[in-house]
Amino acid sequence: MNPSEETLSIVVPFAPRQAGARGSEVVAADCPPRPVRAVYTVKEVAAMLSLSVSSAYALVRAGQIPAERLGRRWVVPRTRFHAWLDGASGGLAATGTDAQRGSW
């Protein structure tokens, strides 16, 4: 056996997919739907708000982001967070603060 034949002998044969079946459709059909979680972690909230995790924890501890202590960790109730988020943008000025522009 020459080296090129030896290389070909270790190649795994390709198995074609079934006609009409997509990988994502098969996986989605086989998996049951995931339940909606009742709470977010502070890390998830930080990612949603584009904040650092330490800034998100500071806002949670200050009571500015609605959260609850669950044992030793903070959790953010999903419905309260979204209600707070929907209401948070209503009273803010375009600059992101309550102060008028140029009022030093």
Q: How many CB atoms lie within 10 A of CB 21?
A: 10
Residue type, 16: P
Q: Helix, strand or coil for residue 87?
A: helix
Distance CA 41, CA 102 (A): 37
Contact by Cβ (8 Å): 98, 91: yes
pTM more than 0.75:
no
Per residue in 19-32, pLDDT (tens digit) is: 655 555 555 567 78
| Higher local confidence (pLDDT), 77 or 27 | 77
| Higher local confidence (pLDDT), 102 or 18 | 18
| Residue 59: predicted pLDDT | 94
Domain boundaries, given as residue ranges, for the chain: 39-87
| Higher local confidence (pLDDT), 95 or 83 | 83
pLDDT value at 92 more than 50: no
Cα separations in angstroms, 10 against 1, 7, 14, 16, 29: 13, 6, 12, 19, 34
* Minimum mean pLDDT range among 41-45, 62-66, 92-96: 92-96
Mean pLDDT calculated for residue range 30-35: 79
